Amino acid sequence: MEEIKVIVQIGRTQKGFGHLAILFVKFNGKQVSWENTEGEWATSYAEKDRQLWFVAELRCSPKDLIEIQSFVKTNRGVDEKNTWKRVYEVDSDVEVEEINDRALGHKSFPIIKGKVKEVMSASKHDKRMDEVLSLFDSIESF
Protein backbone atom coordinates (compact mmCIF):
# COMPACT_ATOMS: atom_id res chain seq x y z
CA MET A 1 0.00 0.00 0.00
CA GLU A 2 1.17 3.50 -0.80
CA GLU A 3 2.78 5.46 2.06
CA ILE A 4 1.97 9.18 2.24
CA LYS A 5 3.83 11.52 4.58
CA VAL A 6 1.82 14.18 6.45
CA ILE A 7 3.36 16.75 8.79
CA VAL A 8 1.36 18.11 11.77
CA GLN A 9 2.12 20.38 14.73
CA ILE A 10 1.27 19.56 18.33
CA GLY A 11 1.95 21.67 21.38
CA ARG A 12 1.01 24.81 23.24
CA THR A 13 1.66 28.51 23.72
CA GLN A 14 1.05 30.36 26.97
CA LYS A 15 1.28 34.13 27.21
CA GLY A 16 0.93 35.14 30.84
CA PHE A 17 -2.04 33.99 32.89
CA GLY A 18 -4.73 34.95 30.41
CA HIS A 19 -3.85 33.34 27.09
CA LEU A 20 -3.41 29.67 26.28
CA ALA A 21 -3.45 27.93 22.87
CA ILE A 22 -3.17 24.16 22.48
CA LEU A 23 -3.21 21.82 19.46
CA PHE A 24 -4.04 18.12 19.91
CA VAL A 25 -3.78 15.59 17.08
CA LYS A 26 -5.23 12.09 16.74
CA PHE A 27 -4.13 9.77 13.96
CA ASN A 28 -6.68 7.02 13.25
CA GLY A 29 -8.10 7.57 16.74
CA LYS A 30 -4.73 7.40 18.57
CA GLN A 31 -3.31 10.49 20.31
CA VAL A 32 -0.12 11.80 18.66
CA SER A 33 2.66 12.88 21.03
CA TRP A 34 6.37 13.57 20.79
CA GLU A 35 6.93 10.35 22.72
CA ASN A 36 5.28 8.06 20.16
CA THR A 37 5.94 9.87 16.85
CA GLU A 38 8.95 10.76 14.71
CA GLY A 39 9.57 14.47 14.21
CA GLU A 40 11.48 17.53 15.28
CA TRP A 41 11.10 20.18 17.97
CA ALA A 42 10.15 23.59 16.53
CA THR A 43 10.97 25.29 19.84
CA SER A 44 13.93 24.94 22.16
CA TYR A 45 13.88 23.64 25.71
CA ALA A 46 14.65 27.18 26.92
CA GLU A 47 11.23 28.30 25.60
CA LYS A 48 9.27 25.55 27.37
CA ASP A 49 7.62 27.87 29.90
CA ARG A 50 6.17 30.07 27.14
CA GLN A 51 5.70 27.71 24.20
CA LEU A 52 6.36 24.10 23.28
CA TRP A 53 5.81 22.99 19.65
CA PHE A 54 6.65 19.68 18.02
CA VAL A 55 6.39 18.96 14.29
CA ALA A 56 5.33 15.32 13.93
CA GLU A 57 5.81 13.18 10.83
CA LEU A 58 2.92 10.78 10.21
CA ARG A 59 3.31 7.89 7.78
CA CYS A 60 -0.18 7.44 6.36
CA SER A 61 -2.14 5.34 3.91
CA PRO A 62 -5.01 6.59 1.75
CA LYS A 63 -8.27 6.96 3.73
CA ASP A 64 -6.43 7.39 7.08
CA LEU A 65 -8.01 10.06 9.29
CA ILE A 66 -6.20 12.87 11.09
CA GLU A 67 -8.18 14.80 13.71
CA ILE A 68 -6.85 18.15 14.88
CA GLN A 69 -8.44 19.82 17.86
CA SER A 70 -7.59 23.28 19.13
CA PHE A 71 -8.32 24.98 22.41
CA VAL A 72 -7.76 28.72 22.83
CA LYS A 73 -8.41 30.58 26.07
CA THR A 74 -8.04 34.30 26.58
CA ASN A 75 -8.29 36.33 29.77
CA ARG A 76 -12.03 36.65 28.94
CA GLY A 77 -12.68 32.91 28.65
CA VAL A 78 -12.70 30.40 25.82
CA ASP A 79 -12.17 31.88 22.35
CA GLU A 80 -15.04 30.10 20.58
CA LYS A 81 -13.96 30.95 17.04
CA ASN A 82 -10.43 29.59 17.51
CA THR A 83 -11.49 26.54 19.54
CA TRP A 84 -12.36 23.97 16.90
CA LYS A 85 -12.14 20.39 15.69
CA ARG A 86 -11.20 19.46 12.11
CA VAL A 87 -10.88 16.06 10.52
CA TYR A 88 -8.73 15.44 7.46
CA GLU A 89 -8.67 12.37 5.25
CA VAL A 90 -5.42 11.32 3.57
CA ASP A 91 -5.97 11.15 -0.20
CA SER A 92 -3.23 10.37 -2.72
CA ASP A 93 -5.28 11.96 -5.53
CA VAL A 94 -5.28 15.52 -4.14
CA GLU A 95 -2.60 18.19 -4.26
CA VAL A 96 -0.42 18.83 -1.21
CA GLU A 97 -2.41 21.06 1.16
CA GLU A 98 -0.77 23.46 3.61
CA ILE A 99 -3.03 24.81 6.36
CA ASN A 100 -1.91 27.75 8.48
CA ASP A 101 -3.75 29.29 11.40
CA ARG A 102 -2.41 32.58 12.73
CA ALA A 103 -3.91 31.94 16.18
CA LEU A 104 -2.32 28.51 16.59
CA GLY A 105 0.95 26.68 16.24
CA HIS A 106 4.51 27.82 15.75
CA LYS A 107 4.20 30.82 13.44
CA SER A 108 6.94 29.65 11.06
CA PHE A 109 5.18 26.42 10.09
CA PRO A 110 1.75 25.21 8.94
CA ILE A 111 -0.39 23.25 11.40
CA ILE A 112 -0.76 20.47 8.79
CA LYS A 113 0.85 19.80 5.42
CA GLY A 114 0.30 16.85 3.14
CA LYS A 115 -2.06 15.18 0.70
CA VAL A 116 -5.15 15.68 2.81
CA LYS A 117 -8.69 16.94 2.33
CA GLU A 118 -10.90 18.37 5.05
CA VAL A 119 -13.92 16.17 5.75
CA MET A 120 -15.28 17.87 8.88
CA SER A 121 -14.83 21.22 10.62
CA ALA A 122 -16.71 22.75 13.53
CA SER A 123 -15.81 25.51 15.95
CA LYS A 124 -17.23 25.90 19.43
CA HIS A 125 -19.01 28.99 18.06
CA ASP A 126 -20.59 26.93 15.23
CA LYS A 127 -21.86 24.34 17.71
CA ARG A 128 -23.41 27.01 19.93
CA MET A 129 -25.11 28.67 16.94
CA ASP A 130 -26.53 25.29 15.83
CA GLU A 131 -28.00 24.78 19.31
CA VAL A 132 -29.59 28.25 19.29
CA LEU A 133 -31.06 27.68 15.81
CA SER A 134 -32.48 24.32 16.88
CA LEU A 135 -34.29 26.13 19.73
CA PHE A 136 -35.93 28.45 17.20
CA ASP A 137 -36.75 25.53 14.93
CA SER A 138 -38.42 23.68 17.83
CA ILE A 139 -40.97 26.51 18.14
CA GLU A 140 -42.23 25.77 14.63
CA SER A 141 -42.97 22.17 15.59
CA PHE A 142 -45.51 23.19 18.29
Put residue 18 in one of left, alpha, beta given phi > 0 → left and psi -120 to 50 → alpha: alpha
What are the boundaries of each domain within the chain?
4-140
Query: 3-state SS string over the chain?
Result: CCCEEEEEEEEEEEECCCEEEEEEEEECCEECCCCCCEEEECCCHHHCCCEEEEEEEEEECCCCEEEEEEEEEECCEECCCCCEEEEEEECCCCCCEEECCCCCCCCCCCCEEECEEEEEEEEHHHHHHHHHHHHHHHHHCC
Q: What percent of the chain has pLDDT over 70?
A: 97
Strand partners, 97: 114
Q: What is the pLDDT of residue 98?
A: 94
Single-letter amino acid, residue 9: Q
Residue 142 predicted with pLDDT over 60: no
Specify whether the CB–CB gap between 91 and 31 falls below 8 A: no
- List, for residues 24-53, the tens digit of each pLDDT value: 999 999 999 988 899 999 999 898 888 999
Rounded to an integer, the average pLDDT of 128-134 is 85
Q: What is the pLDDT of residue 17?
A: 74
- List, for residues 66-84, the tens digit of each pLDDT value: 999 999 998 888 888 889 9
Q: What is the pLDDT of residue 2?
A: 83
Q: What is the pLDDT of residue 103?
A: 78
User: From CA 11, how far away is CA 5, in angstroms rounded?
Assistant: 20
Residue 1 banded pLDDT, cuts 50, 70, 90: low
Rounded to an integer, the average pLDDT of 123-136 is 84
